[in-house]
Structure 1
Amino acid sequence: SQDIIEKLKKIGVYRALVPKRFGGEEWSPRQFCELIETLSKADGSVGWVASFGMSPAYLGSLPEETLKELYQNGPDVVFAGGIFPPQPAEITDEGVVVRGRWKFSSGCMGADIVGVGISPLKNNEMQGLPRMAVMPANKAKIEMTWDTVGLKGTGSHDLVVEDVLVEKKWTFVRGEPSKLSEPFFKYPSLSLATQVLTVVG
């Protein structure tokens, strides 16, 4: 719920890994994992949703100018994503046109931005590696499909996007090296993701 997201903001979950120059705390991976482990001991669903506070590790692959825009109103930006399966996205002169459905978008109901997996196409041929396309959360429709017994509180519903144009500067290859110089961003983001989800238990 939104009140839980606000409490996670207050304890610094979403600013923990954001660079100090953007108003964040720039914690170490160990500090962040310890925080997520503590939250998970209290409630598994809360720990799972909070674990996506590691999103700055992924978003660090965006251009620096894009990150300045992302954090212009503060570092407490809540991210949710749907990665698989990557959906075809037609390349245009302005960016990529995103459409499709993505499952298991944990925490999407409280997100400020969402990222979805795409396969960029030109003339029906894939161009390069799959990418993540980042957009304001209100550009995506949430379909309430998450009705489970375990981890029900994660709200891992479907995201549906209908013909949203995303500029190239708001896309990146998941797991590619960050363009930022801070020491944290030399740490492999996919390795951190594995560690963070492990401490959720």
Structure 2
Amino acid sequence: MANDVLEQIEGSRVQLGAQAAEAEELGTLPTHTADILRKTGVVRMLQPAKHGGLEADPREFLDAVIMTAESCGAAGWVAGVLGSHPWQLALMPESVQDDVWAADPDTWIASPFSPFGKARKVEGGYLLSGRWPFSSGTDHCEWAWLGATVVDAEGDGAGADGTLHMLLPRSDYTIIDGSWNAVGLRGSGSKDVTVSGAFVPAERVIAEQKIVSGVAAREAGRSENLFRMPWSAIFPNAITAAIIGMCRGALAASFDYQRDRVDESGRLVREDNFLLAQLSECHSEVESARVQMMANVGRMWDIVGSGKEVPFELRAAARCDQVRGSRRAVEALDRLYSHSGGNALRSDRPMQRFWRDAHAGLNHAINVYSGPYRAYALTRMGAAVPPGLRRDV
């Protein structure tokens, strides 16, 4: 069934590419683009089968995100971010999953997870308030995961319980129109959302560290291989997959553009051996990022399939490779762009949009390299990894 998703995306390439400029102008994916993504099933690939999902191999999901981003960076970004959220919802009580999916398995969940909210404990749950930027694809979602820390009645004590992820219906938060105006990924509609004193039942709250450590999957009784995969194999790689797809899209646009391009001397640039070498090297770098990511996910998939838990050493290495993969792909794109001439800057050339979108994706917090790089190096040295570094591995 995952093959059906890939075939649907392949058949939608022209439509996705044609609406990219419209999405950028609107500052959000057009409704008909969201409809295309729903039809492909990409956002349901990591969703429990019981709730209309495909429970696909994560590598198939990542390939679907890459393929989508090749046609439209913003659509691929939204597919990757929103497509990772069902995996997390599967770790929640069955009643919560029913709340979201019982009426419509194609119900989408936004985020972000950053702990910009303040939650105060009350009987049966929490009262949540705050403002969160970067809620990608939020216009097309009916629920949102929002990160928060617990505070007392005076607003003190934030962080004592770690970051909590709280699930809210659309009626409990407000989307701030006009809050998303960025140089890249404009079409992702990553707007701000606000909450003012919303009650969040305890059953719709989960500790971030339980998700990352795998405790949440065990407590939920999930035995399926998909939901026993490490968090770091899912969400971070979904971001990197979208970036790789954007760089692939830029490469395809570049090969098409360079085919008949003439330089200042009137010579066809395809006769320039140095340029040809640069194009081919950039292709190889982008593909290397994809291959390394898939190999790491495959190793984890095999370990989980054997009934074992993925060791921290492999998780640390894969997280390091994930961050480096994002950077490797974008660095290759930069080299490509520097050999593309002035006409590549024109707004009617798709290369410039892919370039801007990829750089915007690289700025996501999941691609900050200091923590994952340090965690891996310390692990290789046999040294203790501080809790703060272990938290996102």
The answer to whether the 8 Å contact 1:104/1:156 transfers is: yes
Cα distance change on mapping 1:149 and 1:125 into 2, 3 Å: closer
User: Once structures 1 and 2 are overlaid, which stretch shifts more, 98-107 or 50-59?
Assistant: 50-59
User: 2:71 matched to 1:42?
Assistant: yes
List per-residue Cα deviations over 1:71-106 (Å, max 9, x = no partner): 212321211112224322100002111111001111
Q: Secondary structure at the match of 1:182?
A: coil
Please tell me whether residue 15 in structure 1 is matched to residue 49 in structure 2.
no
Distance in 2 of aligned mates of 1:151 and 1:183 = 33
* Match 2:183 to one of 138, 142, 149: 149
Matching residue's letter, 2:232: L
- Letter of the 1:160 counterpart: T
User: CA RMSD for the aligned pairs?
Assistant: 1.6
**Separation in structure 1 between the aligned mates of residue 46 and residue 104 of structure 2, nearest angstrom:** 13
Higher strand share: 1
1:56 is the counterpart of 2:90? no
User: Aligned letter for 1:104?
Assistant: F
Structure 1 CA distance, aligned partners of 2:31 and 2:237? 26
Identity of aligned residues (%): 27
Q: Give the deviation of 1:122 after TM superposition.
A: 4.1
The structure 1 residue matched to 2:95, chosen from 65, 68, 72, is 65
- Distance in 2 (CA, whole Å) between partners of 1:170 and 1:142 is 20
Pick the structure with greater CA Rg.
Answer: 2
Unaligned 5+ runs, structure 1: none
Tell me whether 37-46 or 118-127 shows the greater mean CA deviation. 118-127
- Among residues 157, 179, 201, which one is paired with 1:125 in the alignment? 157
SS at match of 1:164: strand
Is 1:87 aligned to residue 120 of structure 2?
A: no
2: distance between equivalents of 1:47 and 1:8?
9
Q: Equivalents in 1 of 2:100, 2:74: separation in Å?
A: 27
Unaligned runs of at least 5 residues, structure 2: 1-29, 244-393
Aligned length: 201
Distance 2:49 2:114 in 1: 32
3-state SS of paired residue (1:74): coil
**Does the CA-based 8 Å contact 2:51-2:105 persist in structure 1?**
yes
Q: Bigger CA drift: 84-93 or 57-66? A: 57-66
Q: Matches of 1:110 and 1:21 in 2, distance apart? A: 23
1:188 to 208, 211, 230: 230
Higher relative contact order (CA 8 A, sep 6+): 1
Give the letter aligned to residue 43 of structure 1.
C
Amino acid at match of 2:225: P
Q: In the alignment, is residue 29 of structure 1 matched against residue 63 of structure 2?
A: no
Corresponding position of 2:167: 134
Contact persistence 1:82–1:159 (CA under 8 A)? no
